[in-house]
Structure 1
Amino acid sequence: MSASNRRNQNSLDGQTVLLIVTVALVAVALGTVWLAVTWGSHLDEVNPDLTGDSFGLFFGVLKGTVIWPESATWILVATLAIVVLSGVLVAVAVARARRRRSNVDGAAIHMGKGRDLRALSVTGAKATAQRLGVTNWLGVPIGITVAGRQKLYGSPEDMHVDIWGPRTGKSTSRAIPAILSAPGAVLTTSNKRDVLDATRDVRAANGGRVWAFDPQRIALEEPTWWWNPLSYVTDDVKAAKLAEHFATGSRAGDARADPYFDNAGQDLLAGFLLAAAVAGLPITKVFTWTTTPGDEAPVDILRAHGYDQMADAVDGQVNGEPRRRDSVYGTAAQMASCLKVRAIGQWVTPLGGNAHMDPRPQFDPHAFVRSTDTLYSLSKEGKGTAGPLVTALTAATVEAAEDLATTQPGGRLAVPLLGVLDEAANVCRWHGLPDLYSHYGSRGIVLMTILQSWSQGVEVWGRDGMRKLWSASNIAVYGGGVKEPEFLNELSQMVGDYDKHTTSTSVGRGNRSTSHQVQRERTLDVADLGALPRGRAVVFASGAPATLIETIPWMRGPHADAVRASIAAHDPASTPALRPVPSAPAETSPMGGAQPWLNAAPRTKDQL
């Protein structure tokens, strides 16, 4: 059904409208006359045997059998004035409501509403939060239902997947309100500075620290703190996970993985990462090893720390057939290519090569998840992308939250961690996310994965992986702006059909006949979903029918003034130049080149 047809599907024909208007006028006339004569008779003490029948009284006045009291005139005028004023107010309210209505709002009556959405209502969200032991958070705000004007929330155990096209309001209506509502630590990813500018001062005002990871200077942040990715590598399993983040984060969306060289390069990179971690070397040394085939230093380090099998695997590549070896090394170097960028290195290595000499604070994921701090990770695609490090930082933080949850009652965080993965397909290509999604919900880790289209998710996780992510989410929100008929058709089927009742009247040979028909029609078809107006979204929640909502941007929220002030304070046009990062002396080699890893104390396997 087209939007224009839907707009008129519930409209009344001319005869029905005329009948309604006539009945309304008659009711007003009878009511006002009855009120004026009744009250006037009491005031003027006339018509002692006044009838209570409004019709009889009205026609009695016309016939003269009922006396018209003098005071009835001003009572009638006052009553009519009140009726007219009420009519004007109602007309204004209806006009304003119609201005807020969109072409698809008529479909809302055929979708989820009222008791269907009890679990998402304020009452339902509060009950779920109390059951989970969360006392200061209803959950992530979703919006207001078009039918019934009911506020909806995702509970503290619900996982979210959002698909919103470009410039449809996903940041203003979903990401920012979610961040502002969170009671505990928040991590968020993005390829723009808008979310950072809008929320950083509001979050900081609640006592939390702001950590802005901005290696590509998207928000012009300086490296006033640093994070050591190798602190995540506590054993060979974590090394393999970190290598996977580098592999998926560095691969272009349309690139196909080579079944041999990609796996071999990833394994080699895992060995290098583990060797650098146990030796206390900076992560930038890993890239150096990928450019020097034949260097046996990583093998010796691994053997010295008891990782004999990993050492054998690395040794097989180091001393392998030269042409095959060079290809594997080249693949590993491509995966770790972000480490060669000097600006990125300042964020992941200590000044001077020695953490003890670096005056900057070091980010600790395990301390972060116990705080009310906010971590903003910014990156963008293309040359020099920091995407692999953003993915690694996000995964390390979420896994730290999972470790904390295992020590708390019920195996879940008492104060939930919120992760808003905005532009996830461009910034945070977390390969294992679909497999972990439902598990994190039971740990008190609430994640929102926000994509611009279904195909973006398919590029990162494949068709099966994207379907797994979509199905594992308790709250799926479509905000419009997508031009993919196959995806939109599936959404249309999920919204469902409704029974359309039609009446037709025919007149012939002096006879008039009326017939009634019922036919099934799609509630929202592909065209409706593709042209979904800004300010509307369709919500698919577990255990509830799809519902149409009005989105609530931060401008209409309780923090609007604070957000405006934060945006103004961090506007690049008005922000003063930032001071340079404090520097520390670096150890130098006899040849004069900086060798920052010479001061780093090696870590033994027991220390890991």
Structure 2
Amino acid sequence: MTRALGPKAGWSSGGNPGGWIVLGVCWAFPVLFVIVWAAAWLASLITTGTVEGFGFAFVHHVVVGRTRQAWPNTPTPLVVANTLALCAAAAVAALKAWRRIDARRGDPADPVAALADNPGLDVLKPDMASAQARELRVSLAKRSGPLPDHDIGLPLGDLKRPGGKTGPTLFASWEDSLVTFMAPRSGKTTCLSIPYVLSAPGPVIATSNKGDLWAATAQSRADDTGANIWLFDPQKITYQPQKWWWDPLLGLAGVEDAHRLAGHFVLTVDDGSKKDLWGPAAQDLLASLFLAASSSGRTLHDVALWLDEPAVPTPVELLQKAGFKLMASGLRGAQNGAVETRDGIYQTARTAAKALRDEDILAWVTPPEQPLRRFNPDVFVTTRDALFLLSKSKSPAAPLIAALTDANMRAAERRAERSGGRIDPPLVVVLDEAANICRIADLPELYSHLGSRGIIPVTILQSYEQGQTVWGEQGMAALWGAATRKIIGAGVDSPRLARDLSTLVGQHDVAVRSITHGQGQASEQISLRRQDILEAAAIRALPPGSALLLATGGKPALLQLRPWYRGPRAAEISAHMALAERMIADAANDTADRPRRGHP
């Protein structure tokens, strides 16, 4: 009968301890006599005695008991006491050395040990990452001395080592694009969003469906850079007053820009069948209305009114006057088509543009009654300002968040073209809850070149399937393939993704011991077995605070994420969060005491 004992690291590469035992016994005797001689030498220093030089004669005299010849005039009891003390010290030192070596060696079956030795990660370590940062950013090329972390790149986490230890911090470079999968309450905000907003060396955009990201970083960011903090919060998640506005129609230079803006609205239609059937026509309609309003100095208020009157000729006339004759012809065709078709197109467009029915949302994107600052994306990308875009999941304001994010990224691309290819300092775009509040239709295509422009996107999703609902299977596959750094955190419950990740991590050889019983005898055998470094179940069970990193050009690695509350600025951030939360609570109470719109 044979019984497998499972993966077990042996004492040697073959797993057989016999050779180590023989080797240990052979060396034990010489080491023992060296200790005895050292003990005698120490005793001779204390007393007036002497000790014979170490050699075969000394060993022979000790073995036959001629201590007077081995250490003349030196008390033997003192030599024995010193020998015991030195043996104890040597045993303790050997035990500590063995534990340190064993901890570094690790269990071959342990995925941390299997993934820790990874030369492909050298480019992400501080030294090489700093050198790459100097190459990518002209402003750092002549700076002497070590670079601070916020100039090196975005911190990915600390490399896990065997024995519960961690290695160097790994950094994403200033030409990388990141995609992250993490379940709710698994560290998305504490380990990624907050550290990335604080460490961005240039302008930063951050989306969220809660106020904690703004509360934790806004004041610290303002103190660090002395720049402006822009908060877009039409749904009053933070209850802060509106201090600025943005005109989405101002940057529409032509048909393509109008279609991009319309696409952000159509992508939020929840009814997939309606979006697929009427979506392209609704996008054409919205693009025509946006362009008509933009070319004539009108606002989104006018667009909302035109959507309610399918036969109104005003937008057609404005397009013809502005020289967009083909767009005018297409809009006239949609208005004069079959009633059922026209109504389906207009209803889909109204569903997509439901933000235009909310006065609180329109106040942020139409000229205000009171003078407020106007946000300009072309100016924003030249500063170190921070833009926080807040909205509840799948809310009417989501298209405007996507549009504003897209406008800033396109402004950064234009500036990069004028600056020789990339912007310095880079623009960091942290898209938390991207599938719910910041749906940019061509984000997978943008991922293929944003990094080369100095625009660093960080898309944070709850699951792979969540991305598929927005960009489709092919689009999500393109986003996955274009991301140069992929971070998979705790809570990945997709069986398909877990299996695919297990395959990508790969396999390794693991020593397996087995014992065979038969005819009153037992024999032990050691064999090698190929097995997954990380099984799908192990990927699903990643603990919060840890993550699997897939980096282009290197083997996967296991990371210990770096939450803000374990960093050097924890006390400062905690104080700012407490102050911001009190401000939110006070403002919420004041709002609750006021009569709501439409009520006395």
Q: Report the TM-score, using the length of structure 1 for normalisation.
A: 0.83
Counterpart Cα distance in 2 of 1:85 and 1:10 = 24
1:126 to 130, 133, 142: 130
1:270 to 280, 287, 294: 287
Helix, strand or coil at the partner of 1:196: helix
What's the counterpart of residue 600 of structure 1? none
Counterpart Cα distance in 2 of 1:374 and 1:31 = 68
Helix, strand or coil at the partner of 2:449: helix
Helix, strand or coil at the partner of 2:234: coil
2:42 to 24, 39, 43: 39
Please say which of residues 454-463 and 198-207 is displaced more in the overlay.
Answer: 198-207
1:177 to 187, 190, 195: 195
Helix, strand or coil at the partner of 2:218: helix
1:396-424 CA distance string (max 9 Å, x none)? 01000000000113x11121111111111
What's the counterpart of residue 387 of structure 1? 398
Cα distance change of structure 1 residues 421 and 574 upon mapping to structure 2, 3 Å threshold? closer
Counterpart Cα distance in 1 of 2:132 and 2:51 = 63
1:424-455 CA distance string (max 9 Å, x none)? 11111111000110211110111111100010
1:456-488 CA distance string (max 9 Å, x none)? 000000111101000001101110202111111
Would you say the 8 A contact 1:112–1:544 is kept in 2? no
Deviation at 1:505, TM superposition (A): 4.7
Helix, strand or coil at the partner of 2:326: helix
Q: Does residue 341 of structure 1 match 2:353?
A: no
Cα distance change of structure 1 residues 562 and 261 upon mapping to structure 2, 3 Å threshold? same
1:268-302 CA distance string (max 9 Å, x none)? 11111111111222213212211112111111111
1:301 to 312, 315, 318: 318
Cα distance change of structure 1 residues 82 and 561 upon mapping to structure 2, 3 Å threshold? farther
**Corresponding letter in the other structure for 1:348:** V
Would you say the 8 A contact 2:245–2:363 is kept in 1? yes
Would you say the 8 A contact 1:164–1:453 is kept in 2? yes
What's the counterpart of residue 501 of structure 1? 511
What's the counterpart of residue 585 of structure 1? none
Q: Does residue 192 of structure 1 match 2:210?
A: yes
2:167 to 138, 149, 152: 149
**Corresponding letter in the other structure for 1:375:** L
Deviation at 1:350, TM superposition (A): 2.1
Aligned counterparts, 1:538-557, within 5 A = 538-557=548-567
**Corresponding letter in the other structure for 2:157:** G
State the number of aligned residues. Answer: 563
What's the counterpart of residue 139 of structure 1? 153
What's the counterpart of residue 117 of structure 2? 113
Cα distance change of structure 1 residues 86 and 371 upon mapping to structure 2, 3 Å threshold? farther
Would you say the 8 A contact 2:262–2:286 is kept in 1? yes
Aligned counterparts, 1:458-537, within 5 A = 458-506=468-516, 513-537=523-547
Helix, strand or coil at the partner of 1:438: coil
Cα distance change of structure 1 residues 369 and 305 upon mapping to structure 2, 3 Å threshold? same
Counterpart Cα distance in 1 of 2:234 and 2:29 = 74
What's the counterpart of residue 259 of structure 2? 240
Helix, strand or coil at the partner of 1:111: helix
Q: Does residue 365 of structure 1 match 2:377?
A: yes
Cα distance change of structure 1 residues 28 and 529 upon mapping to structure 2, 3 Å threshold? farther
Counterpart Cα distance in 1 of 2:36 and 2:304 = 92
Counterpart Cα distance in 2 of 1:574 and 1:272 = 38
Counterpart Cα distance in 2 of 1:360 and 1:281 = 18
**Corresponding letter in the other structure for 1:475:** R
Would you say the 8 A contact 1:60–1:66 is kept in 2? no
Cα distance change of structure 1 residues 63 and 513 upon mapping to structure 2, 3 Å threshold? farther
Unpaired runs of 5+ residues, structure 2, are 141-146, 592-600
Counterpart Cα distance in 2 of 1:408 and 1:332 = 39
2:273 to 256, 259, 273: 256
Would you say the 8 A contact 1:395–1:430 is kept in 2? yes
Counterpart Cα distance in 1 of 2:584 and 2:88 = 55
Counterpart Cα distance in 2 of 1:418 and 1:60 = 75
Deviation at 1:115, TM superposition (A): 1.9
Counterpart Cα distance in 2 of 1:343 and 1:120 = 45
Cα distance change of structure 1 residues 497 and 315 upon mapping to structure 2, 3 Å threshold? same
**Corresponding letter in the other structure for 1:483:** D
Helix, strand or coil at the partner of 1:231: coil
Deviation at 1:314, TM superposition (A): 1.3
Deviation at 1:109, TM superposition (A): 2.1
1:132-158 CA distance string (max 9 Å, x none)? 135262111111111371321111101
What's the counterpart of residue 242 of structure 2? 223
**Corresponding letter in the other structure for 1:113:** D
Deviation at 1:66, TM superposition (A): 4.5
Cα distance change of structure 1 residues 275 and 487 upon mapping to structure 2, 3 Å threshold? same
Please say which of residues 513-522 and 425-434 is displaced more in the overlay.
Answer: 513-522
Deviation at 1:515, TM superposition (A): 3.2
**Corresponding letter in the other structure for 2:548:** V
Deviation at 1:47, TM superposition (A): 3.2
The Cα RMSD (Å) is: 3.7
Counterpart Cα distance in 2 of 1:228 and 1:62 = 101
Deviation at 1:572, TM superposition (A): 3.9
**Corresponding letter in the other structure for 1:468:** A
Counterpart Cα distance in 1 of 2:45 and 2:181 = 67
Helix, strand or coil at the partner of 2:205: strand
Counterpart Cα distance in 1 of 2:483 and 2:320 = 44
Deviation at 1:340, TM superposition (A): 0.9
What's the counterpart of residue 397 of structure 1? 408
**Corresponding letter in the other structure for 2:466:** Q
What is the percentage of aligned positions where both structures have the same residue?
A: 35
Deviation at 1:557, TM superposition (A): 2.4
Unpaired runs of 5+ residues, structure 1, are 353-357, 582-608
Counterpart Cα distance in 1 of 2:10 and 2:243 = 62
